[in-house]
Amino acid sequence: MQKRKRIIKIAVGQLSPALGNLNENIEKHSTITQKAVKNGADIIIFPELSLSGYALKDATYDMAITADDKRIKPLLELSRQIAIVLGCVEMGERYELYNSLFYLEDGQVVGRHRKVYLPTYGVFEEARYFSSGNHFKALSTNLASFGLLICEDVWHATSGLLLALDGASILIVSANGLTRGVRDAAKPENIQAWEMLIHSLAITTTSYIVFANRSGVEDGLIFWGGSEIVRPGGQTLAKANYFDEDILYGQIDLFKLKHARLNATLLSDEKIPMLVDELKRIHDKNTLY
């Protein structure tokens, strides 16, 4: 592993994928990634299911890829110049399907995260098409130690905490956030909730957060964009446009993260043995009946 940089230039590709068109989406990723390379970015992060679109339903199997799929070779080649995080339908070892993030670096897929929490309420029916992942594990790369989260994962408080305790400095949240709760407020209710959640995650884990949310309209669903990069203290470092496609740039200073974690000792004060004991107690109690 090469010596890491202190300052990492982040790009977020807030795009609107073509539903069910893998080749078109790969080309779109390539174009956006090349722009990020020209702008000196070290890593570009795309939203959940960015290679396939979201409302695939029975076409989900048609969009499935593996880490060695030849069709993503153009992106693997680009990853020799810039790290890439993308969302895809992943075909598992036993031909099960996962809603996954791939981390591309130095011409190969060096890490992945399979979405753990699959929403099954309202318009969501992910558990019908996807198998659930079962890990939250920090990923050590040439740039930093990252924690990968996919949409619903971040709504469960333990997800980000586990990644931060495992050593992640930067939490990446890739999402397909829908617009809901449009009333008299200046901003739809769920957008307000999402933004509070992302900022709270930064504060409670003392971590940088990179939130990559898609835009566009798909099968009657409206995705609100608004991707952002958030400092460990909860302040917005950079913010993308709402609803439209955009490329967001921002710089993360890992020295400032070190300083933040020395001044706010939430992670180092966490009582992990107590957490383990209490979670086991609750688990045992809930499995008695």
pLDDT digits (tens, 9 = 90+) for 138-157: 999 999 999 999 999 999 99
Is 246 among the domain residues?
yes
Is 40 among the domain residues?
yes
pLDDT of residue 235: 97
Q: Is 247 left (phi over 0), alpha (psi -120 to 50) or beta?
A: beta
Is 82 among the domain residues?
yes
pLDDT in tens, 233-275: 999 999 999 999 999 999 999 999 999 999 999 999 999 999 9
Q: 101: helix, coil or strand?
A: strand
Average pLDDT over residues 77-103: 98
**1-7 long-range Cβ contacts below 8 angstroms, 24+ apart:** 1/140, 1/141, 1/142, 2/142, 4/142, 4/143, 4/144, 4/254, 5/42, 5/143, 5/254, 6/253, 6/254, 6/255, 7/251, 7/252, 7/253, 7/254
Report d(CA 233, CA 267) in Å as an integer: 13
Name the residue range of residue 96's domain.
Answer: 7-286
Is 22 among the domain residues?
yes
How would residue 122 be classed by pLDDT, with cut points 50, 70 and 90? confident
Residue 2 in this model has a pLDDT that exceeds 80: no
pLDDT in tens, 172-229: 999 999 997 665 557 888 899 999 999 999 999 999 999 999 999 998 899 999 999 9
Is 1 among the domain residues?
no
pLDDT of residue 257: 97
Q: Which two tokens stand for residue 247?
A: 């490329």
Is 57 among the domain residues?
yes
Q: Which two tokens stand for residue 141?
A: 């790369």
Is 55 among the domain residues?
yes
What are the two backbone dihedrals, phi and then psi, of residue 104, each rounded to the nearest 5 degrees?
-105, 135
Residue 93 in this model has a pLDDT that exceeds 70: yes
pLDDT of residue 180: 77
Q: 224: helix, coil or strand?
A: strand
| The total number of residues written for the chain in this structure | 289
| Arithmetic mean of pLDDT over the chain | 95
Closest residue by Cα to residue 12 from 216, 176, 249: 249
pLDDT of residue 181: 64
Average pLDDT over residues 74-78: 98
How would residue 9 be classed by pLDDT, with cut points 50, 70 and 90? very high
* CATH code of 244's domain: 3.60.110.10
Is 121 among the domain residues?
yes
Q: Could you give the C-alpha distances from 193 to 61, 155, 181, 205, in angstroms and in order?
A: 32, 10, 11, 18
Query: How many structural domains compose the chain?
Result: 1
How would residue 1 be classed by pLDDT, with cut points 50, 70 and 90? low
